[in-house]
A and B are shown apart, each in its own frame.
Chain A
Amino acid sequence: MKNSFVELHARERAEALLDDNARELVGPLDNMISPHLEPQGIVPESDDGVVLMRGTINGKNALVISIEGKFQGGGIGEVSGAKIVAALEKALEDNKAGKTIYPVIVLDTGGVRLQEANYGLLSISEIHNAVIALKKYVPVIGLVPGRVGSFGGMSITASILSYLIATKKARIALNGPEVIEQEAGVREFDSSDKDLIWNTLGTKQRLATGLVDEVVDDTVDDIKKSVSDAIDAKKDAHRTEHVDFYLSLLDQLDPSKKLDIEGYRKLYPEVKAEKHVIADAVEGTEPGTKSRGRLWFEKLTGIKNAKSSVSTVLHAEKDGKEYVAIVPDADNKFPRVRDGEVGLEEGFAVASIVNKVVADDADKDVKRPVIMVVDVPSQAYGYQEELIGIHVALGSSAAAYAKARQAGHPVIAFIPGDAVSGGFLAHGLQSNRLIALDDTSITIQAMSKASAARITQRTIAELEEATKHVPAMAYDIDNYEKLGALYKLVKGIGSYEATDENVAKINSIIDEAIQSTVGKPTDLHFRYETPIAVESGRKATNAIRKAVFEQWNA
C-alpha cells in the first residue's frame, strides 16, 4: 500500500510523525536490552521494542513514544516500560517548568509482556501515573495504527490518554478473544470467529461507542495531520471521567440477555447520565460471599456482614481513613465477577467512590488516606464486558486512585489476597505503598498459567521452568518481594488470620505506611528506591532512567 503508516516499523513511524529533526533517546546502540529474555531462551532486541524520539510536529515540541508491535507483540517489560515512564516523566518536568512538549504514544501492543509479567504490570501502572500527571499540562495523544492494536494493560493506558486516533486495521480491548475463550469458554467468545472479533473490537464499533475518538485512513500524511490537529486543538475526550454515564448504562442493562453489537449500538446513544453516589457499606444480617478481601475489610472497618448498593464494592470511613474493597458476590447479576473479578460495575463504582473522596477533601490541607484492600483474582473475562469497554472501567478506577495520590491523599494497598492482572492495575497498583501478607495462598501475576502458556506458545511445564530463572514470572508473593516494589511483606499473618491482634498489627503498619508518605513525592518512585529495588529488583529500570535523563537534552 502506498505511503502506509501501519506497514512501517516503530522507528520509521516515529520519524514519520516528527518533522525532519527527530532525535532518538536511548536507541539501539545504547545496548539497553532486557536482562529477562535470554535466560528464558528468547531473542532480545537492542531497543527492547520501544523507540523514544524528540523533535517537533509541525513546529511544536513533541516526544514520540513508539511501540514495536512486531517484537514480542509489543509487550511491555521492565526495560521497555522504564523507557516510556522515564521519557514521560522528563516531559512532565519540562511542562511543569513552562517548556511545553507534547507527548504522543503510538500503541501497538498486546499489553504486559508475559515473559516479564509482574514487571509489565508495575511498568504499566507507572505509565498510567505519568500520563495522569501530564494531562494537567498538555493533552497526551494516543495513536493505535494496528496490526496488533492495544490490548491488556495498555488498553487501560489507551482509555486514560487524552485523545485516541486509530485506523481500521486496529483493535482495542482489555482481554484478547483467545484469553476470554481460555478463561470463560468458547460460548462466551469464539476466538476463531474473525468477523465477530473485528465487529466487536474493531475501531468502527469503538468509534460509534465512544472508545476511540477518530478513525483515520492509513496514510502517513492523514495520520500526521490528525495527530497535529489534536495537539493544536488540545483535544481531550475525558474518557475515564464518564463514570455516571456508565453506571447509568449498567443500570439499564439486562445481564440475563446477551448484549450484541446492534443492541449496544442502540442502547449507547439513549443512555442519560444520572448522578450516582455509592453510600458507605453498612452492617448486614447475612454474611456476604466469603473472601480474604471481605474478611479484612470487615475487620479493619468493624462492619459486620458489610453490604453496599453495589454488592461487589465495599467502602467505608474508619478513624479518618477511607477503605475500599472489591469482593466476590456469588449471586451477582454479572456472572463474570462472581468470584471477585473486577468488571464494569466494579471499575466505575470504585472510580465514583474515590473521585468523591478527592472532591470532598479538595479544600482540606490534610487529605484522607485511601486504603485499598486488595483481593482481586483478575479482571472479568466476558464478551459484553469487552463490547462495552471494560478497559475504560479499569482505567477510570486507576485514574481516580492516581489523581487521589497526586492530590496528596496517601494511597495504600493492603494485599491479603490475590493481586492479578487488570484487576491489580485498577485496584492496587496506583498506591504509593504496597503492603502484603506473606501467605502462600496469594497469587500475584499478569495472567493465569493456562492463558499465559497459550498466548506465549509454551507448555505450562516450560512456563514453570522459566519462573525459576526470572522472579517476575513467578506467581507467589515471596518472588514478588524480589522486585523491590513492596513497602512491607508482613510475616506470620495468614490470609484468613484476621484476629484482633493481627488486625491491630496491620492497622499500625498501615499507619506507618501513611506516615512514610508525609512530605514525600506523590509519585510511584518509592518502588525504584527500596534497597531491594536498587540492589537487584529494579536495577535495569534505574539504569534506563539514568540513560534517558542524561540524553533528554541534547
Chain B
Amino acid sequence: MEKLHYKFETKNPIQKPVHIGVVASGDLEVIFRPTDSDETVVSIVTGSDGFKEVWQNVLDRFFARYPIQANIEINDFGSTPGVVNLRLTQAMEALKDEK
C-alpha cells in the first residue's frame, strides 16, 4: 500500500460532492468534494506500490481537460490507467447529473 499526494492549480470550483466506483480488484473509488482552497489536492491510497509517475501522468491529462477545483480522494485496488481515467470521467458526469 502506498499513499500519494498531488496538487494542481485549477480554476473551476465544483458545487457538490460525488462518489463513483468500488474498491474491487482492478478497480477504484473516486470522491470529489467542493473546496474553498484555490488549489486541487488529490490524495490517493493505492494497493500497487511504485506507480507515482504513472498517476502523475494520468492526473495531468485529466486536469488539462477538466480543470476542476476540488478535494479528491482515491482508494485504488490495482486499477490500470485506463480504468482510473474512466472513473474520473464518470465522476465528472455525476457532477452534471441533476438528480
Contacts and interface: CB of A to CB of B under 8 A. Distances in A.
A70 B24 contact: yes
B22 interface: yes
Given A29-B33, A43-B77, A46-B75, A71 B24 contact: yes
B47 interface: yes
Interface size class of B (residues with CB under 8 A): 10 to 19
A135 interface: no
A41 B75 CA distance: 12
B59 interface: no
A494 interface: no
A43 B49 CA distance: 12
B29 interface: yes
A45 B73 CA distance: 11
B25 interface: yes
A71 B23 contact: yes
B23 A45 contact: yes
Interface in A14-42: 27-29, 38, 41-42
B22 A70 contact: yes
Contacts of A38: 1, 45
Interface string B67-85: 0000001011100000000
B1 A43 contact: yes
A46 B31 contact: yes
Contacts of B77: 43
A281 B47 CA distance: 54
A346 interface: no
Contacts of A29: 17, 19, 31, 33
A43 B75 contact: yes
Interface residues of A, number: 15
A28 B31 contact: yes
Interface string A46-79: 1000000000000000000000101100000000
B46 interface: yes
B29 A45 contact: yes
A335 interface: no
A44 interface: yes
B27 interface: yes
Contacts of B76: 43
Contacts of A27: 19
Nearest to B22: A9
A43 B27 CA distance: 12
A504 to B, nearest CB: 51
A208 B7 CA distance: 59
Nearest to B48: A43
A166 to B, nearest CB: 21
Given A29-B31, A29-B33, A70-B27, A46 B1 contact: no
A43 B33 CA distance: 20
A71 B22 CA distance: 7
Nearest to A24: B19
Nearest to B75: A43
Nearest to B76: A43
Contact of A68 (B22, B45, B73): B22
A46 B18 CA distance: 12
Nearest to B23: A45
B46 to A, nearest CB: 7
Contacts of A68: 22, 24
Contacts of B19: 27-29, 46
A14 to B, nearest CB: 13
A509 B46 CA distance: 49
Nearest to A12: B22
A33 to B, nearest CB: 8
A45 B1 contact: no
B16 to A, nearest CB: 10
A27 B29 CA distance: 13
Contact of B45 (A9, A43, A71): A43
B73 A46 contact: yes
Contacts of A9: 22, 24
B29 A28 contact: yes
A42 B1 contact: yes
B31 A43 contact: no
Interface in A208-258: none
Contact of B22 (A42, A44, A45): A45
Nearest to A33: B75
A42 B45 CA distance: 9
A43 B73 contact: no
A424 B24 CA distance: 30
A28 B31 CA distance: 8
Nearest to A11: B22
A9 B90 CA distance: 16
A38 B73 CA distance: 15
Contacts of A41: 1
A46 B29 contact: yes
A43 B47 CA distance: 6
Contacts of B25: 70
Interface in B33-72: 33, 45-47
Contact of A44 (B17, B31, B33, B45): B45
Contacts of B1: 38, 41-43
Nearest to A70: B24
A45 B77 CA distance: 10
Contacts of A42: 1, 47
Contacts of B31: 28-29, 46
8 contacts: A9-B22, A28-B29, A38-B1, A43-B76, A46-B29, A46-B31, A68-B24, A71-B24
Given A9-B22, A43-B1, A45-B22, 4 more contacts: A43-B77, A46-B73, A70-B24, A70-B27
Interface of B: 1, 17, 19, 22-25, 27, 29, 31, 33, 45-47, 73, 75-77
